Structure 1
Amino acid sequence: MTLLEEITRAVAAAEANDGGNPPPPSKYPIVLNTDEIFSQLKPDAEAPGGVSLKHVSGWKISETDAAIIELSSRLVEKLRSKFRRPKSLGKGDFFGILNLFLRKSAEKVGLSIGSDAGDASGIEFARAGIEKLGFLIGREVAGLIAECCVVLEVWELLETLLLEGLVGHLNSTNLTEKLVEKNQTQLLCLLVEHVSDLRSAELLSVLKHFLSPTDDSYDGMVAVKKQWENQAILAIEKATQMGLPKKASKLAREASILLMMAYDGFSPSQVCLHYVFGSSNAEGLVLSSVISRLDGQEVLDLIRYFVKWLEKYQRFPEARPCPSAGSVLGLRTCESVPSFESIIKALGLVLDEHFSYLVFNSEFHDEMRAAEDIVSSLVLEANLSCPLENIIKYLQSEIRKNRDL
């Protein structure tokens, strides 16, 4: 089969899936190595009649990719067979099937999972294997592994799948519902953080879960806040560490302010909201649709959360995003701190979507008076800083002119 025929089939399958039916199993359940494929393509003889378009031949996947595809197909077949008989699916069988796939895949690509992975039939081997071989695990395979993790409640392995970015929006719908049902708050935070384009129904389910904590979900929220506390303490330690490079020390000080703001004064459930409004999911029409479907109490709780952030940014105007703190200092939660802009935009969406209800709610009036005072103060500071900013820019331009002379 030619490359063009493969693309044509894929387009036809995508069009057939518009009605919401599950897509057919892929013949290539991995990301193919395009370097090896394209290097084999050769142009055919020049087309007659002066046509500049040339056909190419030699479309063929590498032996390594073919072997990985075969291993992936066997894994999918075995896991699906187990799902047909749910009682036959146990943790031992699951890890036996998965780890065999990981071990043979590692051999095919010449990688070692490592002796530190421990028992080759247990969860530590599976986690280490997915961390090293995640680039070989396609959407279909990752979705089945995630589904097995939920059924067997192997939460640590599901965490690895999320951290490695192997769970995408195409296989996250049922996963979101099941994690909410099983009160897996920590995994829901990771889901929002690492799946950037959740559907409105999924995001609504997560947001309601965070805004209305139950006795069963609250312990998970406390654990999430504890993680933020540990990260804030680590940031302070980095900021006061002797011998740290100047740039890293400056970054640590900025991160410590940011994490202190995000931790101090927020309840455990509100800390979980940071993941929603600190992610790319907090943008566009999806968030507007989600906010429009919140009930009255949820709306008021959300406004109180936003007002807290306004107070923080008023008290600490030097606070700014630190996206590089995760890779440089290991302060990964900095990536999930909502920016001032995202808070303002989200608050505006709440007011737009629920204006009529809020006008007639006396509790809302008190919250908005507090927000108005803060916003007025911020606007005044911005107006005062604009002339100063212009003066600084003018002086900088004059200095550059003098240097040129």
Structure 2
Amino acid sequence: MTLLAAITGPAAAAAAANLIVFTPGAAPPPPTSSALPTQIPPSEWSLYPADPALATAASFLSASLSSNSVSLPRFRSLLTSFLTTLSQSLSLRTPSSNVSLAIRSIAPYFPGALASPVASRAATLAEYDVVLALADCCLLRHPPPNLLSSLSEAGRPDLVCAVVRRAADLRSSELLATLRCFLSPASDAAYDAMMSVKNRWKEAAVGAVDLCREKGAAMIANATGKKAAMLLMMAHDGFTSPEVCLHYLFASGNVDSVVLGAAVAELDGGEVVRLMEYLTKWIGKYQRFPEAQPYPEAVGIPGLELCDSVPSFGVVTRALGLVLDEHFSHLVLNADLKEYLKTTEMMVKQLTAEAESSGPILDLLRLLQHDV
């Protein structure tokens, strides 16, 4: 069969029959098996004009949110009105009267330019369900400058975790605010919020173990459960609630080492010690379970999404190197850390011996060994 015959054959005709006509106008003539479909004249195509009501509603919402006098009822009214206009413009069903649920239902169509001002105003008014909805729906890839510090000061490290988990990039000031939020809980309420975060990791780990134990489970499901259970168990056992929150920061693949180094340099002595303890725990975990590997495939499996928030060995070692570079004198001169650093050195030496065939990882481990 010639290429032309293959293109103009019945298969091509069937595929052409399923084409979607996006704009009003004359439908294309039905294709035949012996000729290519006739081109549609440009005059037959047209684009729907932009909905002026939607543009007006978006401009009005943006201008209204810039006012410091917006009250909580007014904020809810403004957001509800905009979401209703957006739904009507796209011929979607009427959104829920619950603002956070409405955002989740219409998230794929929510304008990204409005997400940041909405989140900032919601945080100011303590409308935290809205912030969580925007973060969970990946609408805060570039969070507004003061959002993380505002949430930290309000004692909501759980929301800081949600925002950091989905953020595409973070500034040095935002990383510093996040580190201090997790390393130095501001209040008992903040610590309680961190405990709720750790409980979610426990539930996820137990769920992964149950997946392995299910009778008659498919082999692929059993293998998935084992990989996920190992990662989630490593991330839960032995870590304090504040340390579990740090997972979200160090698991983010979008944290630049230079920016992180600048944030780490601003930490005080106590915060540096706690960060060092956290990273060393991870080194010990990967020493004990060398078979543990990142498992991005688990992200799409209900109940196993947290596997994506487990820091990799490479990230942990790079972060440990940053801490040593920025605070080497403090760590060496602190008598209380002497034995602690010796333990870290021993673990790094053992991992170096096991990583002879690991290429670039070997060079990094040798550098860490020299610094320690």
Relative to the length of structure 1, the TM-score reads 0.72
Offset of 1:132 from its aligned partner?
A: 3.0
Offset of 1:65 from its aligned partner?
A: 5.0
Offset of 1:385 from its aligned partner?
A: 8.9
What whole-Å deviation, never above 9, does each CA across 1:318-358 have from its counterpart, x for those lacking one? 11111121212431211111111111111011111112222
Tell me the equivalent position of 1:280: 253
Q: Which has the higher helix share?
A: 1
Tell me the equivalent position of 2:235: 262
Tell me, in whole angstroms, the C-alpha distance in 2 between the residues paired with 1:191 and 1:153.
15
User: 1:193 is matched by which residue type in structure 2?
Assistant: R
Tell me the equivalent position of 1:106: 87
2:147 aligned with 1:178: no
Tell me, in whole angstroms, the C-alpha distance in 1 between the residues paired with 2:126 and 2:249.
24
- Identical positions, percent: 36
Tell me, in whole angstroms, the C-alpha distance in 1 between the residues paired with 2:358 and 2:173.
42
Equivalent residue for 1:131, pick from 94, 104, 108: 104
Equivalent residue for 1:199, pick from 163, 171, 194: 171
- The residue correspondences of 1:39-58 to structure 2 (distance < 5 A) are none
Gaps spanning 5+ residues in structure 2: where? Answer: 1-20, 24-45, 360-372
What whole-Å deviation, never above 9, does each CA across 1:13-63 have from its counterpart, x for those lacking one? xxxxxxxxxxxxxxxxxxxxxx989xxxxxxxxxxxxxxxxxxxxxx9743
Tell me, in whole angstroms, the C-alpha distance in 2 between the residues paired with 1:206 and 1:385.
32
Aligned-residue RMSD, C-alpha: 2.4
User: 1:284 is matched by which residue type in structure 2?
Assistant: S
Relative to the length of structure 2, the TM-score reads 0.78
Preserved CA contact (<8 Å) 1:252 1:329: no
Offset of 1:222 from its aligned partner?
A: 0.9
Question: Alignment partner of 1:305: what SS?
Answer: helix
Equivalent residue for 2:159, pick from 166, 187, 191: 187
Equivalent residue for 2:120, pick from 147, 153, 169: 147
What whole-Å deviation, never above 9, does each CA across 1:139-168 have from its counterpart, x for those lacking one? 442123212321321211210001111124
Tell me, in whole angstroms, the C-alpha distance in 1 between the residues paired with 2:244 and 2:213.
25
Equivalent residue for 1:74, pick from 60, 68, 81: 60
Preserved CA contact (<8 Å) 1:282 1:342: no
User: 2:91 is matched by which residue type in structure 1?
Assistant: G
What whole-Å deviation, never above 9, does each CA across 1:278-332 have from its counterpart, x for those lacking one? 1124432111111111111111111111111111111111111111212124312
Tell me the equivalent position of 2:72: 90
Offset of 1:78 from its aligned partner?
A: 3.8
User: 1:378 is matched by which residue type in structure 2?
Assistant: L
| Greater CA drift, 249-258 or 353-362 | 353-362
- Name the CA shift for 1:230/1:264 in 2 (closer, same or farther; >3 Å): same
| Greater CA drift, 105-114 or 194-203 | 105-114
Equivalent residue for 1:352, pick from 299, 308, 325: 325
Preserved CA contact (<8 Å) 1:176 1:188: yes
- Name the CA shift for 1:69/1:309 in 2 (closer, same or farther; >3 Å): same
User: 1:182 is matched by which residue type in structure 2?
Assistant: A
Aligned residues: 316
Preserved CA contact (<8 Å) 1:322 1:334: yes
Tell me the equivalent position of 1:247: 220
- Name the CA shift for 1:135/1:62 in 2 (closer, same or farther; >3 Å): farther
Tell me the equivalent position of 2:131: 158
Gaps spanning 5+ residues in structure 1: where? Answer: 1-34, 38-59, 387-405
Tell me the equivalent position of 1:315: 288
User: 1:213 is matched by which residue type in structure 2?
Assistant: P
Tell me, in whole angstroms, the C-alpha distance in 2 between the residues paired with 1:357 and 1:147.
37
Tell me, in whole angstroms, the C-alpha distance in 2 between the residues paired with 1:385 and 1:150.
45
